[in-house]
Structure 1
Amino acid sequence: MMPFATEFPVKAGLDSRMFVAQIITWLKGTQYSRLFENNVEIDLDGDSPLAISANGEELRLRVLKVSGAEKAVGFRHDFPDQEGRLWRTESVLLRNDKEGDQSIVRFRTQCIARESGAKLHHPRKPYIIKSFLVDRLSGTDGQFLVSDEPVWLKNNDDSLQLAESISLGKASNNLPIIYISTIKGSSWPFNRKQVDKLAYELGGVAHVVVEPDRDFSITLRDLTSGQNVYGGAIGIALPNYGFVRRLFASKQSPGSRNLVDIVHDTAHALRSQMPSCGWDWTELQEQSLRQHRQRERNRLTSQEERALYEEENENLRETIVQLKDDLARQQSINSNNAHENYLHSYIASQV
Structure 2
Amino acid sequence: MQGVSINFNLAENTLIEDVFGECLNWILDSPHTKIAQEELVRFNSKEEFSFEKGEEEIGYSRAEDEFGNSAHSLRYKKGNESLKWITEISYIKSSDDFLVSVKAGQESFSAVSHYGEVKKPVIVIRLLDRFGGGLDGDLPVAIDPIYLKDSEIGYRLAEALINGESINRLPVVYVSASRIGHRLIPGRLARKLSGMAHVIVEPSREFSNKIRASVNSRNVYGGAVGIYWPGGSGVTLFRRDKLDAKEFEKEIYEKICSALLTLSPGKKCSWDEVGHIKNRNAIRNLKRDGDSATELVALYESELEEKEKTIRSLSHDIERLGAKIRSLESKNLVQGGLVLAKGDEDDFFDNEILSVVIDALKDHLEKSVHPNSRRAHILKSILDSNLVESDHGERIASVKAALRGYKDMNKKIRSVFEELGFSLASDGKHWKIIYQEDDRYSYVLPKTGSDHRGGLNAGADITNIVY
- When normalised by structure 1's length, the TM-score is 0.76
Structure-1 residue corresponding to 2:16: 16
1:275-327 C-alpha deviation (Å, 9 max, x unpaired)? 12232222222222342455379799xxxxxxxx9xxx9xx9xxx9xx99x97
Structure-2 residue corresponding to 1:31: 31
1:228-267 C-alpha deviation (Å, 9 max, x unpaired)? 11222211012212642111123xx679983221112112
Note the C-alpha offset of 1:202. 1.1
Q: Is the contact between residue 8 and residue 105 of structure 1 (CA under 8 Å) also seen in structure 2? A: yes
Partner residue of 1:237 out of 228, 234, 239? 228
Q: Give distance in 1, aligned partners of 2:173 and 2:243.
A: 21
Structure with higher Rg: it is: 2
Q: Is the contact between residue 7 and residue 101 of structure 2 (CA under 8 Å) also seen in structure 1? A: yes
Note the C-alpha offset of 1:145. 1.8
Q: Give distance in 2, aligned partners of 1:92 and 1:290.
A: 18
Structure-2 residue corresponding to 1:128: 123
Q: Give distance in 2, aligned partners of 1:231 and 1:256.
A: 15
Which residues in structure 2 correspond to 1:205-224 (within 5 Å)? Answer: 205-224=196-215
Q: Give distance in 2, aligned partners of 1:195 and 1:81.
A: 39
Alignment gaps of 5+ in structure 1? 301-308
- Alpha carbons of 1:344 and 1:155: their partners in 2 closer, same or farther (altered >3 Å)? farther
Alignment gaps of 5+ in structure 2? 292-299, 341-356, 362-467
Note the C-alpha offset of 1:37. 6.5
Note the C-alpha offset of 1:112. 2.3
Q: Is the contact between residue 63 and residue 70 of structure 1 (CA under 8 Å) also seen in structure 2? A: no
- Alpha carbons of 1:149 and 1:257: their partners in 2 closer, same or farther (altered >3 Å)? closer
Is 1:289 paired with 2:283?
Answer: no
Q: Give distance in 2, aligned partners of 1:156 and 1:28.
A: 46
| Aligned residue identity for 2:20 | V
Is 1:178 paired with 2:168?
Answer: no
Q: Is the contact between residue 35 and residue 52 of structure 1 (CA under 8 Å) also seen in structure 2? A: no
Which residues in structure 2 correspond to 1:3-152 (within 5 Å)? Answer: 3-36=3-36, 48-55=48-55, 57-67=56-66, 69-80=68-79, 84-96=82-94, 99=95, 101-152=96-147
Q: Is the contact between residue 10 and residue 128 of structure 2 (CA under 8 Å) also seen in structure 1? A: no
Note the C-alpha offset of 1:271. 2.5
- Alpha carbons of 1:43 and 1:129: their partners in 2 closer, same or farther (altered >3 Å)? closer
Q: Give distance in 1, aligned partners of 2:243 and 2:261.
A: 25
Q: Secondary structure at the match of 1:2?
A: coil
- Alpha carbons of 1:340 and 1:35: their partners in 2 closer, same or farther (altered >3 Å)? farther
- Alpha carbons of 1:119 and 1:38: their partners in 2 closer, same or farther (altered >3 Å)? farther
Structure-1 residue corresponding to 2:448: none
Q: Give distance in 1, aligned partners of 2:106 and 2:332.
A: 28
Structure-1 residue corresponding to 2:428: none
| Aligned residue identity for 1:288 | K
Q: In terms of mean alpha carbon deviation, does 160-169 or 233-242 score higher?
A: 233-242
Is 1:276 paired with 2:265?
Answer: yes
Which residues in structure 2 correspond to 1:318-337 (within 5 Å)? Answer: none
| Aligned residue identity for 2:162 | S
Q: Percent identity?
A: 20
- Alpha carbons of 1:258 and 1:177: their partners in 2 closer, same or farther (altered >3 Å)? same
Q: Is the contact between residue 166 and residue 242 of structure 1 (CA under 8 Å) also seen in structure 2? A: no
- Alpha carbons of 1:347 and 1:29: their partners in 2 closer, same or farther (altered >3 Å)? same
1:1-56 C-alpha deviation (Å, 9 max, x unpaired)? 2321111122223343122112111111111223437789x999x9742111122x
Q: Is the contact between residue 39 and residue 53 of structure 1 (CA under 8 Å) also seen in structure 2? A: no
- Alpha carbons of 1:172 and 1:201: their partners in 2 closer, same or farther (altered >3 Å)? farther
Is 1:187 paired with 2:181?
Answer: yes
Q: Give distance in 2, aligned partners of 1:122 and 1:138.
A: 27
Q: Give distance in 2, aligned partners of 1:38 and 1:18.
A: 18
Note the C-alpha offset of 1:121. 2.9
Aligned length: 318
Q: Secondary structure at the match of 2:209?
A: helix
Q: Give distance in 2, aligned partners of 1:154 and 1:186.
A: 18
Q: Secondary structure at the match of 2:261?
A: helix
Partner residue of 1:343 out of 335, 341, 347? 335
- Alpha carbons of 1:344 and 1:47: their partners in 2 closer, same or farther (altered >3 Å)? farther
| Aligned residue identity for 2:273 | E
Note the C-alpha offset of 1:221. 0.7
Which protein, 1 or 2, shows the higher relative CO under an 8 Å CA cutoff with sep ≥ 6? 1
Q: In terms of mean alpha carbon deviation, does 276-285 or 64-73 score higher?
A: 64-73
Q: Is the contact between residue 178 and residue 236 of structure 1 (CA under 8 Å) also seen in structure 2? A: yes
Q: Give distance in 2, aligned partners of 1:47 and 1:136.
A: 23
1:130-185 C-alpha deviation (Å, 9 max, x unpaired)? 111111332122232211112222211111111111102234523211111123x3
Q: Secondary structure at the match of 1:59?
A: strand
Q: Is the contact between residue 178 and residue 209 of structure 1 (CA under 8 Å) also seen in structure 2? A: yes
Q: Is the contact between residue 72 and residue 271 of structure 2 (CA under 8 Å) also seen in structure 1? A: no
Q: Give distance in 2, aligned partners of 1:115 and 1:256.
A: 39
Q: Give distance in 2, aligned partners of 1:63 and 1:218.
A: 52
Q: Secondary structure at the match of 1:147?
A: coil
Q: Is the contact between residue 132 and residue 142 of structure 2 (CA under 8 Å) also seen in structure 1? A: no
| Aligned residue identity for 1:33 | T
